[in-house]
Amino acid sequence: MDSTFLVAVDGSEGSDRAIEFATERALAGKAKLVLAYVIEWSPYSFHTPEELAERHGRREEEIERAQTKLLGPVAESVKAKGAEVEQIVRHGHTAQTLADLAGEVGASQIFIGRKGESRVAALLFGSVTASLVQTSPVPVTVVP
């Protein structure tokens, strides 16, 4: 393997296009694909010990569901095309978590689909894609 590509996966059509585009590039360049799904999760909450235990249980269920229902089928499809693939599910702020993951896995590039947010929502709240482009330690390819 010459390099590693990180691909943001969220189940959207844009994500599917990013996976396809990244897979083509990975096969051409003998790169490994790391498929990443980030579950939005705020660490800034105050809970009782009981609430924390319940929250941890939900967190583990979400990770398992993301692995089996979303990443698993995508990984199998990518493997069937001949690419080496790894799957990662994390909780956190999506853009920051993807930027951090790029460093952890030694990614040389990140692929992400452009979502069809309204201009108003993007102006008010920003977008994961825009945040990632600004904070990523490696080049980001935004797939339309």
Q: Could you read off the pLDDT of 27-37 as tens digits, one per residue?
A: 999 999 999 99
How many Cα atoms sit within 13 Å of 18 on the Cβ side?
Answer: 28
pLDDT tier at 49 (50, 70, 90 boundaries)? Answer: confident
pLDDT tier at 1 (50, 70, 90 boundaries)? Answer: low
User: What is the reported pTM?
Assistant: 0.84
Give CA angle at 21 (16, 27), nearest 5°.
Answer: 120
Phi, psi at 67, each rounded to 5°: -65, -45
Mean pLDDT, rounded, for 85-106: 94
Q: Which residues of 77-112 are buried (b: 16+ CB within 10 A; e: fewer)?
A: ebeeeebebebbbbebbbbebbbbbbeebebebbbb
pLDDT digits (tens, 9 = 90+) for 99-128: 999 999 999 999 999 874 445 545 444 588
CB atoms under 10 Å from CB of 33, counted, come to: 26
CATH classification code of 4-143: 3.40.50.620
Phi, psi at 32, each rounded to 5°: -90, 140
Q: What is the C-alpha separation between 32 and 30, in angstroms, rounded?
A: 7
What does DSSP assign to residue 81? T
